Amino acid sequence: MPVVPRVLVQEAPFDMGAETAALFAGRADVGGLASFLGICRGDGGLVAMTLEHYPGMTERALRRIAEEACARWPLTGCTVIHRHGRLVPGDPIVLVLTASAHRVAALDSCAFLIDWLKTKAPFWKSEEFAGGTTRWVEAKAEDDEAAARWGR
């Protein structure tokens, strides 16, 4: 039976070390733990990025995406934490953790999760630049293609 993923949508920072430890501490069935940490970059004079989301739908969409990963791969654990609000360069935005007996399931499901989050999680990013201009980040065709390689 698939594991129940841990899904959080929050403004606060998260503790990657604690989240990682929670997926394998005290157990002997986890052989590989893959993770992806998405971080705010400061390209082109970006001073901040504000993530808007759709409360209610966001949690639902993230849970569905994480459950899809747990159904497709034999995971022993899965954690998805996505922040919203105003973040500055260097701030972590999103954390994906997948644990499994074997490395391939952990690595593939981690890549799947971040690809699907890009195109199926209701977040919108407003970039704020030195000088005060702002700009909405546009969806990228390459993200659609990356998500599509996992089917459906």
Partner 1 sequence: MKVLYFAWVRQKVGAAEEDVSPPPEVRDVAGLIAWLATRSPGHAAAFADARQLRAAVNQEFAPPDAPVAPGDEVAFFPPVTGG
Name the site residues for partner 1 (rule: CB under 8 A): 38, 52, 54, 56-57, 60-61, 82, 93-94, 103, 114, 117-126, 136-139, 143
Backbone angles phi, psi at 68, to 5 degrees: -60, -45
Could you tell me how many residues of this chain bind a second copy (CB under 8 A)? 34
Distances from the Cα of 121 to the Cα of 13, 25, 39, 62, 71, angstroms:
19, 29, 17, 6, 18
Name the residue nearer to a second copy (CB basis): 55 or 131: 131
Helix (H, G, I), strand (E, B) or coil at 110: helix
Shortest distance (Å) from residue 139 CB to a second copy = 15
Tokens of 79: 């954690």
Calpha distance 45→50 (Å, rounded): 15
Backbone Cα Rg of the chain: 16
Q: Does residue 111 interact with a second copy by CB under 8 A?
A: yes
- The mark string for 51-80 relative to a second copy (x by CB under 8 A, - otherwise) is ------------------------------
List interacting residues with a second copy (CB under 8 A).
Answer: 16-17, 20, 24-43, 89-90, 101, 103-104, 106-107, 110-111, 114, 146
